[in-house]
Structure 1
Amino acid sequence: MKFVRYAFALVILFLCAKCKTTTESGQTEQTKEWLTYEGRADMPNVVLVSGDEEYRSEEALPQLAKILSARHGFNCTVLFAQDPNMPGIANPNYGRNIPGLEALETADLMVIFTRFRALPNQQMQYIDNYLKSGKPVIGIRTATHAFNFSAADSTSSWTHYGNGYDVEDEWKGGFGRLVLGEKWISHHGHHQHQSTRGVVASGAEGHPILKGIGEGEIWGPTDVYGVRLPLPGDSQPIVLGQVVNRAGEFAADDALYGMRFTDSEVAEVKVEKDKDGNEKTSNPNDPMMPVAWVKSYQIPGGQPGKVFATTMGAATDLLTEGTRRMLINGVFWSLDLPVPEKANVDTVGTYQPNKFAFHDDQYWLDKNLSVKSLQ
């Protein structure tokens, strides 16, 4: 009888252990806090870090991971912003927690698409360790301002990563400027009204990242970001962003706000207000801003590495084949792998991304967006 009770207890313990299988960050079989996509054993590990409030990185990066895994055999892990009190529920507005960053310890490539995050010390340590290793980085859209630490974060060990950091020369401008080549500067095009058409930068013809991409095939409804010219160090612009006017009417309920791939009128006038409220006009295509570039990076105390940065890449930008191909090619290039002549970038499963937009906290509470549903 004693043996039967002992055996029964072992069975219960086994079942409980199975039910509560966790990793360091607490992911369980029932509560997915991140997504994994298995590729081939001989292919690199790519960790994709989402966490922005506007451009739907939580939709873009799972699709990018699916393409990388299903079409090309990469092993991918996608991470999401979450309130630690609601594990497994993606909440882009929660800026202080991205579970699963320990995956960077075995990553061959980090793809980062975050905005103004203020992560805890332990999570930032994984990012810092990765960067010190000199492994490659791809930064997408808001990654130029990936982090931001306010006065409330004065006890953080990582304030120098913040977009507004202005203390030490080498970290001035934070992660964005030092690693990617630029921090947040401005909207160069008219947000929600002017789209971006990719134009090959002078001297970049034949660059591997452009393989299989025809003239005018890179497009997205997001507007061009402003950067300071020239970009620093050995930065090489690959694609310039031509600001394009919308041909049709503005449509607030449309995923593209009424803009279309077929829009062709090159913008000549941008009207904006200066700091005193006075209107001023300029030509947003003179000069055109780089929207994709490559460079090297090396953070203090670390090894040198390589970067592919693009200020395109919102979830709705990935509806365009040429834009997807630029990003997939960027992964191959970053990992020193031969770039396919024309990479298969067909979307995997149903891909109907939401329009780029900010939402208040109540929206995300009501939406209750499970990480598992993004698989």
Structure 2
Amino acid sequence: MNVFFPAGKHFLQTFTLCIAILCILAVSTLSFAQTAKSKKPLVVFVTGDHEYSGEETLPIIAAELERTYGMRTKVLKANPDHNSEKNIPGLEILKEADLAVFYLRWRQLPKDQLAFIEDYLKTGKPVMGFRTTTHAFNFPKGHESEKWNAFGEFALNSPPGWGGKAAHTHYGHKSSTDVTVIPEQAKNPILTGVDPSFHVRSWLYRVLPDYPTKGSTWLLMGKSVDPDKSAIENPVAWTGTNSFGGKVFMTTMGHPEDFRIESFQRLVINAIHWELGKKVPKSWKGKLDIQVPYREAK
């Protein structure tokens, strides 16, 4: 027994050392994986509109960001369906977000859900918005959350809600819009690969004369085609800094048929990179197949 004891002891020590090394390697590998994951920016899409199928178009954009551009994404949707104005589950993920993208229309979210959005805005992180997000919320006059009706203004440099003193309106559902790059912005990285002019199905939103807010940079101008009233040209995409110090990209385009257009797809992908402080990709992986129908608002 005395002869074999030292050898047994040595084996036990060696075995223990090997286990310890394996544990260290496992922890290091896990830590490396977690670090690599954390370096991928998280883009959170918050959707809920009655009309434009944002909860269907934006997941396709999200999938492309993950597949091609090394990002993490999360798409939140109104529940139980797009017409549900008072519930968007999962907003707590905004605590981890590097970019929040909103496609909302006339929501009336509860205070606890609004708090997650407010906390995000207060961080000064970037914000992106599509079309009806100019009138994302619609609380009745005197409601404790009425201030949120001006979300478009304080978060996205757009008119503070629909109609009102801002005269925020459009030129008829049967009209569409010719879009052109504003010449002074032709070399703006967000417009990389975007055609100098293209046509979208979105009927033009009027935001002038007071919006976008002072200091915003207009990128694209829209001209109404077959308007139902006297129309003026209006900016349809701009950047800026919001009242919380966060970078802004806002577009009043966003009809589901707009997402079929390659220039619009590039605009969106480019803007997301710009918002995150990443270099806008010069190479383009090709047009995405986005076939989402428009639906009439309730």
TM-score computed with the length of structure 1 as normaliser: 0.65
Q: Which residue number in structure 1 is paired with residue 216 of structure 2?
A: 235
Q: Distance in 1 between matches of 2:281 and 2:128?
A: 18
- Checking the alignment, whether the CA contact within 8 Å between 2:216 and 2:240 is kept in structure 1 is yes
CA-to-aligned-CA distance 1:312-347 (integer Å, 9 cap, x gap) = 122221011111110110101111111012433532
Q: Structure 1's 271 and 195: CA in aligned 2 closer, same or farther, altered over 3 A?
A: closer
3-state SS of 1:203 partner = helix
Identity of aligned residues (%): 36
Q: Distance in 2 between matches of 1:351 and 1:293?
A: 24
Aligned match for 1:176, one of 146, 152, 169? 152
Report 1:178-217 matches (<5 A).
178-183=154-159, 184-185=162-163, 186-191=168-173, 193-217=174-198
Residue 277 (structure 2) pairs with residue 336 (structure 1): yes
Residue 241 (structure 2) pairs with residue 322 (structure 1): no
Q: Which residue number in structure 1 is paired with residue 40 of structure 2?
A: 43
Q: Distance in 2 between matches of 1:98 and 1:345?
A: 32
Q: Distance in 2 between matches of 1:40 and 1:242?
A: 43
* 1:290 maps to amino acid: P
Aligned match for 1:109, one of 82, 85, 99? 99
Bigger drift between 314-323 and 335-344 goes to 335-344
Structure 1 residue 271, shift from structure 2 partner: 4.0
- Checking the alignment, whether the CA contact within 8 Å between 1:201 and 1:240 is kept in structure 2 is yes
Q: Distance in 2 between matches of 1:114 and 1:53?
A: 9
Q: Which residue number in structure 1 is paired with residue 126 of structure 2?
A: 136
Higher relative contact order (CA 8 A, sep 6+): 1
Aligned match for 1:351, one of 290, 295, 298? 290
Structure 1 residue 205, shift from structure 2 partner: 1.7
* 1:124 maps to amino acid: L
Structure 1 residue 69, shift from structure 2 partner: 1.3
Q: Which residue number in structure 2 is paired with residue 293 of structure 1?
A: 238
Q: Which residue number in structure 2 is paired with residue 32 of structure 1?
A: none
Q: Which residue number in structure 2 is paired with residue 308 of structure 1?
A: 249
- Checking the alignment, whether the CA contact within 8 Å between 2:255 and 2:294 is kept in structure 1 is no
Q: Distance in 2 between matches of 1:223 and 1:127?
A: 29
Report 1:19-168 matches (<5 A).
42-83=39-80, 91-151=81-141, 154=143, 156=144, 158-162=145-149
3-state SS of 1:198 partner = strand
* 2:272 maps to amino acid: V
TM-score computed with the length of structure 2 as normaliser: 0.80
Q: Distance in 2 between matches of 1:331 and 1:271?
A: 34
- Checking the alignment, whether the CA contact within 8 Å between 1:95 and 1:116 is kept in structure 2 is yes
* 2:260 maps to amino acid: L
Q: Distance in 2 between matches of 1:345 and 1:119?
A: 37
Consecutive unaligned residues in structure 2, runs of 5 or more: 1-35
3-state SS of 2:220 partner = strand
- Checking the alignment, whether the CA contact within 8 Å between 1:40 and 1:73 is kept in structure 2 is no
Q: Structure 1's 244 and 344: CA in aligned 2 closer, same or farther, altered over 3 A?
A: farther
3-state SS of 1:64 partner = helix
Q: Structure 1's 356 and 237: CA in aligned 2 closer, same or farther, altered over 3 A?
A: farther
Consecutive unaligned residues in structure 1, runs of 5 or more: 1-38, 84-90, 163-173, 246-269, 273-281, 360-375
- Checking the alignment, whether the CA contact within 8 Å between 1:314 and 1:356 is kept in structure 2 is no
* 2:264 maps to amino acid: T
